[in-house]
Structure 1
Amino acid sequence: MSDASHSYREQGELELTSVLKRLFYGTLFFTCLALTGLSLPSAAQSAPEATANTPDVVFATVKERAQALADKPYQKPDHNVPEALAAMNYEQYRSIHFRREAGLWQRDSLFEVQFFHPGFYYNEPVTITTVDKAGSNTRVPFKSEYFRYGDQAKPVMDAVTEDLGFAGFRVHYPLNEADRKSEFVVFQGATYFRLVGPGQVYGLSARGLAIDTAESSGEEFPVFRDFWLLQPDKEQTTMTVVALMDSPSISGAYRFTLAPGAPTVVDVDAVLYPRTEINKVGVAPLTSMFHHGENSTNYVDDIRPEIHDSDGLLLNSSQGDWIWRPLSNPKSLRVSSLQDTNPKGFGLLQRDREFNSYLDAEAHYSDRPSLWVTPKGEWGEGRVELVEIPTNSETNDNIVAYWVPKQPLAPNTEHLFSYQLRTFEERLPSQGLAQVERTRTGWAAIPGQEDGPPRTHRKFAIDFTGGELDNISTEAKLKAKVSAMGGEITHIVVEPLPVKGMWRVAFTLIPEGEGPADMQVSLTMRDQQLSEVWSYVWYPDSVQ
């Protein structure tokens, strides 16, 4: 999220999400989508025993619509947002605020829904329909009276019409305080959505689907065209959102079961109907930002030591291994992957939660959530792919991670992926091993050495903490289990640090040739695995 956006986090005020500025990074673009309609069966149209539009009924109906769309050639709807709104600048758009009193279900539910105004970068309005317990489906109309237009937005008010539609919505819930509802999830832009747990602020985003990310053909961005919001009972602590997705190559139906709390959990059911053959589909994609951190080697002219929404990718393999890959801001596009069959989970984490690591009083990077994906059922063979894109600005999302099935999704076939998303902070409760606290690297020259080695010879220091390290004596004999492809690891040192439960593995990497070096390091004691596996790819062009 941009540094300019972090100051505007008051509840009930419009937040300009990080997606706003990042979706157009590089050659990324949106497919413009206009409003579409869909009639759901009313109680009278349902089977005799059905008295309402349950989540299953709504989801089944939207699946039928998605399949019908996929059976026909893609039709790009007309762009219908007036030019004056599309041309708004950041300050104009930020000065438009939703009136909280116009929100849905304020007194009838623990949940409250508010809406986003179209314009600026959000020029693909969506239809939003509410579904109540009696089986009544009501489309929520756009009304200018729902919004307050600040002085900077007044020049564009003449372009506001009552048929615009909304750019998205956000949901509030008593997440942090029992008597006050706070925002915990936002759906806005393409298939992007973001969620937070108690005490957290927005950082990374989830997406419905990634198509041809980092491919030479260019990335395709599916879009949620329509949403159905199922009204919860007065004391119900979960809420269901159903969405219709469409794009040139694929359509789909999504069901999101939102459960805000500690942690905030979202169960996702995605049914996909490819129109055509797709080169690469990324399932359960997560999008984040890494500008610079403790492992960066390039000098950054900034008072803040680190800037990132996430600092690493964690994978729990089908064999139970925990693999940690620190993120980087590369000089050129990098795509790496971790092969697996039926992984137990993966996620992008913000492990460093110390204010002193960032020294940013506005961005609150230390409060950004980590997000974990737990597959349901068997996803088969495939890979967790990590994309790292060079960026010179923290306003650009440059990190993407997702699951790529080994077998391409066949056209004219239904494909189901179910998974759970959950927020957490630096440690996942199910991860009991010691984990990487920090990764640091520098030139491998000895201090005072007049004729040092080439700059590509690197010294690494990896600090592990937690797990059984909290109980192990500093006199214990721990070993480092290391491996490397494309280089040689030498001068390995394992030692305790003057912090309880923290041990360091230091070594020198001597790369082979001009290619990357792929390294793995973990801590062991005799035959016992004490830590997760640190997995890192070093590129010679990383040296400034």
Structure 2
Amino acid sequence: MTTIPLHRRALLRAAGSAALLAGLPARARIAAAQQQGLAFGPAAPFSFEALVAQAQATAAQPYQPPTRPAPEVVQAIDYDAHGKIRFRTDLAPFADGSGAYPVTFFHLGRYSGESVRMYLVGADGAREILYRPDYFDMPADSPARKLPADSGFAGFRLQERHGRDDWRTQDWVAFLGASYFRAIGALGQYGLSARGVAVDVFAPGRPEEFPIFTQFFIAEAPDPAQPAVVCALLDGPSISGAYRFTLHRTEGVVMEVEASLVLRRAVARLGLAPLTSMFWYGEYGRGRMLDWRPEVHDSDGLAIWTAAGERIWRPLNNPRAITVSSFGGDSPRGFDLLQRDRAFDHYRDGVLYDRRPSLWVEPLAPFGRGAIQLVEIPTDDEIHDNIVAFWVPEGEAAAGDRHDLSYRLHWLADEPYPDAGIARTVATRMGRGGEPGKPRPPGVFKIVAEFDNPAVMRRIPFGVFPEVVATASRGTVQRPFSEPVPDGNVWRATFDLAVDGSDPVELRMFLRLDGRPLTETWLYQFHPEPPPA
């Protein structure tokens, strides 16, 4: 059995969260919610430890699919119809000021059709919120009116704290669909998502599974100085698990996640702490007539801080075929799907791609040996999430294995722990190789990366040009050189890649001066075939 132990700091934090759950004045809070019009089931004892035991017991039993009420009706609640169904904010728990963050609920729909049970937790245990159709405002012709009266909820969200904005118009964290959840970052926008777990994402010969959070236990913070605590039970054909999320509304959102997962059966690719995003194209990879905008993406790169301390930047791809990249080793200090480009002029779009959050995973207990895996899926539009990154433990994922995890998620504008002593990548560019004014040789490509950190780059003496250290998994690196970019502290590293055929090429590059790296390590999977027209 594979077990990743919690270290002492995580155990102390778990004890603190348990105390927070136990200390809430449940009777007063639930009584207030009942007066508002919500219906509740009877109180039952609750603790995170009991939820872990329930997940273990569930994994030992045959899988029972979640309830999907009236599938033909739910299928009719498409994106537009679902957007017109709104939970009545006058019914929101804690809307009367008894808690910092009012809770509102999502209705079932085509893309979130499984019924999820919701509980409020306090000192006397957990009480289920019993679904009623009249909790929601919806158009008279909404297909949702045809659902059974006990259909259930699809998910929930926490609304913004009182006093910041009108809480009815702004939420800051949402759990909806399978095990997906997301939060706003420091710039006030939603973007990429996280998941509880990823199972067999494009594993050879195996269909992907989407385990779901079947039950949520919500213990709201009495004031903004305290975190909100949410526990969840997860279940799927191959896995069951218990989660505790400690949610801090800070500059962005910071979440401590504690999870205990048990495999019901063997899994080919077990993805822990998974992140999901969208990358259509950046300053590279855009055909002339593909779209009018310069760039379209929720994230533009995978950042890794290795156990050895190396900083890696891997720009994302929209490949022609599904690709899986693996970055193996000991438990990393962190990894991230990052939206690094914050210039509005690079997007020119009112959906504010320049404000999308970055999401950094920080292990609080070591993940052990394994690999960060990056899955890149072809897409021809921005409506599809086509990027997935997660941690895969070393060795087989066999039935009965248990994984206990403790990690922190930082939903921010940038990395939470930047290295001030190195320059980081700010652009990746590509074009035809060769020299200007001469015939461009076939099979030769120009590869360019730009690095910025004024404190680092100003130390380069005038007239000195850092060494470009570049390697390729196949083909030949030619004419490497570096140069300063005019009107700034940015330095450009350039080389030509001469390569035959269309198989991918793994590239690696950094700038070095006096035997020491000036920059993070730039990695890229280059596809020699021409980009889409």
Structure-2 residue corresponding to 1:173:
160
1:330 and 1:542 in contact (8 A); partners too: no
Aligned pairs (5 A) from 1:219-230:
219-230=208-219
Return the TM-score normalized by structure 1.
0.85
Aligned-partner Cα distance in 1 for 2:73–2:207: 29
Aligned-partner Cα distance in 2 for 1:52–1:92: 37
Q: CA deviation at 1:522?
A: 0.9
1:258 and 1:265 in contact (8 A); partners too: yes
Structure-1 residue corresponding to 2:410:
422
1:409 and 1:415 in contact (8 A); partners too: no
Return the TM-score normalized by structure 2.
0.87
Structure-1 residue corresponding to 2:482:
494
The alignment status of 1:401 with 2:395, answered yes or no, reads no
Of the three residues 475, 483, 490, the one matched with 2:471 is 483
CA offsets 1:178-214 (integer angstroms, 9 cap, x no match)? 7757311110000000011232311110000011101
When residues 299 and 376 of structure 1 are mapped into structure 2, their CA distance, relative to the original with a 3 A threshold, is same
Q: CA deviation at 1:255?
A: 0.8
The alignment status of 1:149 with 2:134, answered yes or no, reads no
Structure 1 runs of 4+ off > 6 angstroms?
Answer: 50-54
1:58 and 1:242 in contact (8 A); partners too: no
Secondary structure (helix, strand or coil) at the match of 1:128 reads strand
Aligned-partner Cα distance in 2 for 1:53–1:272: 30
When residues 447 and 478 of structure 1 are mapped into structure 2, their CA distance, relative to the original with a 3 A threshold, is closer
Structure-2 residue corresponding to 1:199:
187
CA offsets 1:258-311 (integer angstroms, 9 cap, x no match)? 011113100111101101111110010000001111121533432111110000
2:77 and 2:144 in contact (8 A); partners too: no
Structure-1 residue corresponding to 2:305:
316
Secondary structure (helix, strand or coil) at the match of 1:469 reads helix
Structure-1 residue corresponding to 2:455:
468
Aligned-partner Cα distance in 2 for 1:178–1:88: 30
Q: CA deviation at 1:473?
A: 4.6
Structure-2 residue corresponding to 1:286:
275
Aligned-partner Cα distance in 2 for 1:235–1:200: 17
Q: Which runs of 5+ in 2 are unaligned?
A: 1-17, 27-44
2:361 and 2:407 in contact (8 A); partners too: yes
Secondary structure (helix, strand or coil) at the match of 1:541 reads coil
Q: CA deviation at 1:332?
A: 0.8
The alignment status of 1:392 with 2:380, answered yes or no, reads yes
Aligned-partner Cα distance in 1 for 2:270–2:468: 37
Of the three residues 445, 452, 463, the one matched with 1:458 is 445
Secondary structure (helix, strand or coil) at the match of 1:92 reads helix
Secondary structure (helix, strand or coil) at the match of 1:83 reads helix
Aligned-partner Cα distance in 1 for 2:23–2:184: 34
Structure-2 residue corresponding to 1:298:
287
Structure-2 residue corresponding to 1:115:
105
RMSD: 2.4
Of the three residues 59, 68, 82, the one matched with 1:70 is 59
Q: CA deviation at 1:499?
A: 3.1
Q: CA deviation at 1:380?
A: 1.4
Aligned-partner Cα distance in 1 for 2:268–2:163: 43
Of the three residues 432, 435, 455, the one matched with 1:443 is 432
Structure-1 residue corresponding to 2:364:
376
Q: CA deviation at 1:379?
A: 1.4
Q: CA deviation at 1:407?
A: 1.9
When residues 515 and 423 of structure 1 are mapped into structure 2, their CA distance, relative to the original with a 3 A threshold, is same
The alignment status of 1:218 with 2:207, answered yes or no, reads yes
Q: What letter matches 1:524 in structure 2? A: R
Aligned-partner Cα distance in 1 for 2:278–2:212: 21
Q: Which runs of 5+ in 1 are unaligned?
A: 1-45
Aligned-partner Cα distance in 2 for 1:425–1:51: 34
Structure-2 residue corresponding to 1:39:
none
When residues 157 and 411 of structure 1 are mapped into structure 2, their CA distance, relative to the original with a 3 A threshold, is closer
Structure-2 residue corresponding to 1:353:
342
CA offsets 1:445-496 (integer angstroms, 9 cap, x no match)? 434434x211x31101211001633532561432222222112211112111
Aligned-partner Cα distance in 2 for 1:155–1:224: 26
Secondary structure (helix, strand or coil) at the match of 1:177 reads coil
Q: CA deviation at 1:422?
A: 0.2
Structure-1 residue corresponding to 2:245:
256
Q: What letter matches 2:244 in structure 1? A: R
When residues 178 and 289 of structure 1 are mapped into structure 2, their CA distance, relative to the original with a 3 A threshold, is closer
1:126 and 1:226 in contact (8 A); partners too: yes
Of the three residues 61, 66, 69, the one matched with 2:50 is 61
1:488 and 1:512 in contact (8 A); partners too: no
Aligned-partner Cα distance in 1 for 2:358–2:478: 34
